[in-house]
């Protein structure tokens, strides 16, 4: 076997694996336009009636969508604010306290969420906040802090602290330095942090599954119930909507980055 055939063979395996990763999720798109009333590939033509059933008030998809959007926006605002304040504070001042808080804050990235879920069921039931917006918000903020913090801290790492020194030596008050020197310079990090916090909340299911029931149902919670109760094509429709939205964002981002890189190299 020549070196060339071997390389081709290796690349064929690589693309095969990539297809196995990518193609299975696409199956929800053809299934969502099936003309049958049960989960199947379209047989004699396509139909969009399952998308129509998403707006059926009896099925509760619309309120769950609204609840998820509400929780995700509130989470993004709170988590970005808290993470930004902490990131800046820890950037200026080191010591045991910021290190300990950072360690705790990043723990949800690795500690299995089921353990946190068990703890929060007890805590929220004690204060009668199970199945409420506020209960969900608190949990989602805690779970979004790691990603928001990492995005903001990455942005801060590129900030030249001589700017802060200059502002201090010119007599700027701390709040002015924070608001007019630091924050504007980490705006991209804040935006990335808010976006990641939004996505974390929007997608969160493990802990939400335990702390919600009927009153405050988020979209993932609604999808989960639907998968376990009755698998119907409406589920494929909502899955296809989520998949296409994700793909649109990622493809747009890839294209924009490509354009930026080309424009940069042309200079």
Partner 1 sequence: MSSRFERFALYLTVPAGLLVILLYALPILQVLGLSLTEGQGAIANYERLFTSRAVAGVVQTTLAVSISTTVITMVIAYVIAFGMIHMSDRQRKVALLMVSIPFWVSVLVRAFAWITILRSQGVLNSGLMSIGAITEPIQLVYNRVGVTIGMVHYMVPFAVLLLYANLTDIDRRVVQAARSLGARPVSVFLRVWLPMSLPGIAVASLFILVFSLGFLITPALLGGGRTLMIAEYISVQISNTGRWDLATSLSAALLIVVGLLLALALRSPAMRAAFGGSSK
Instruction: Determine which residue in the list 52, 119, 179, 188 makes contact with partner 1, applying CB under 8 A.
Output: 119
Residue 117 contacts partner 1 per CB under 8 A? yes
Residue (106 or 191) nearer to partner 1, CB:
106
| Residue 262 lies near partner 1 (rule: CB under 8 A) | no
Contact between 166 and partner 1 per CB under 8 A: no
Binding of partner 1 at residue 153 (CB under 8 A)? Answer: yes
214 binds partner 1 (CB under 8 A): no
Question: What is the footprint of partner 1 within residues 220-239 (CB under 8 A)?
Answer: 220, 223-224, 227-228, 231, 235-236, 239
- Decide if residue 251 touches partner 1 (CB under 8 A): yes
Residue 45 carries which DSSP code? S
User: Could you give the string, one character per residue 73-92, with x where binding to partner 1 holds by CB under 8 A and - elsewhere?
Assistant: ---------xx-xx-xxx-x
Token pair 């009927």 is found at 214
Contact window for partner 1 (CB under 8 A) among 47-55, 56-64, 100-108, 184-192: 100-108
CB of 100 to partner 1, least distance (A): 8
Burial 35-72 (b: 16+ CB within 10 A, else e): beeebeeeeeeebeebbebeeeeeeebeebbebbebbb
Choose the stretch contacting partner 1; rule: CB under 8 A; options: 50-58, 59-67, 187-195, 199-207.
Answer: 199-207
Gap between the Cα atoms of 219 and 132, Å rounded? 14
Residues 211 and 116: beta-carbon distance below 8 Å: no
Integer Cα distance of 184 and 179 in angstroms:
7
DSSP string spanning 53-118? GGG-GGGTHHHHHHHHHHHHHHHHHHHHHHHHHHHHHHHH--SHHHHHHHHHHHGGGTS-HHHHHH
**What's the CA gap between 82 and 1, in Å, rounded?**
59
Among 58, 175, 263, 266, binds partner 1 (CB under 8 A): 175
Selected from 121, 181, 183, 191, the binder of partner 1 by CB under 8 A is 121
Quick check: 135 and 129 in contact, CB under 8 A?
yes
CA torsion 118-149-220-110 (nearest 10°) is: -50
Q: Which of residues 13-72 bind partner 1 (CB under 8 A)?
A: 13-15, 17-19, 21-22, 24-28, 31, 39-41
Smallest gap from Cβ 246 to partner 1, in A, equals 5
- Written as six digits, the tokens of 155 are 């942005």
Which residue lies nearer to partner 1 by CB, 216 or 219?
219
List 104, 163, 187, 256, residue binding partner 1 (CB under 8 A): 104
* 252 makes contact with partner 1 (CB under 8 A): no
Proportion of the chain in helix, strand, coil states, percent, rounded to 5: 80, 0, 20
CB of 235 to partner 1, least distance (A): 6
């Amino acid at each position: 076997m020549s070196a060339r055939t071997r390389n081709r063979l290796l690349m064929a395996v690589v693309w095969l694996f990539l297809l196995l990763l990518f193609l299975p999720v696409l199956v929800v798109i053809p299934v969502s336009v099936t003309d049958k009333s049960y989960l199947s590939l379209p047989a004699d033509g396509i139909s969009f009636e399952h998308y129509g059933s998403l707006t059926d008030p009896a099925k509760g998809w619309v309120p769950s969508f609204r609840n998820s959007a509400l929780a995700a926006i509130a989470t993004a605002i709170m988590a970005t604010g808290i993470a930004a304040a902490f990131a800046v504070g820890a950037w200026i001042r080191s010591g045991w306290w910021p290190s300990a808080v950072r360690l705790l804050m990043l723990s949800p990235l690795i500690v299995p969420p089921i353990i946190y879920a068990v703890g929060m069921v007890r805590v929220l039931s004690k204060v009668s906040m199970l199945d409420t917006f506020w209960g969900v918000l608190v949990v989602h903020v805690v779970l979004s802090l790691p990603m928001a913090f990492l995005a903001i801290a990455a942005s801060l790492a590129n900030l030249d602290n001589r700017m802060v020194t200059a502002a201090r030596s010119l007599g700027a008050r701390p709040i002015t330095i924070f608001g007019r020197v630091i924050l504007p310079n980490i705006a991209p990090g804040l935006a990335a942090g808010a976006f990641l916090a939004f996505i974390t909340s929007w997608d969160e299911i493990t802990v939400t599954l335990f702390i919600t029931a009927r009153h405050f149902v988020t979209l993932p919670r609604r999808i989960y119930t639907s998968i376990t109760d009755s698998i119907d094509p409406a589920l494929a429709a909502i899955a296809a909507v989520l998949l296409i939205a994700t793909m649109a964002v990622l493809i747009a981002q890839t294209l924009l980055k490509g354009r930026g890189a080309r424009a940069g190299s042309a200079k």
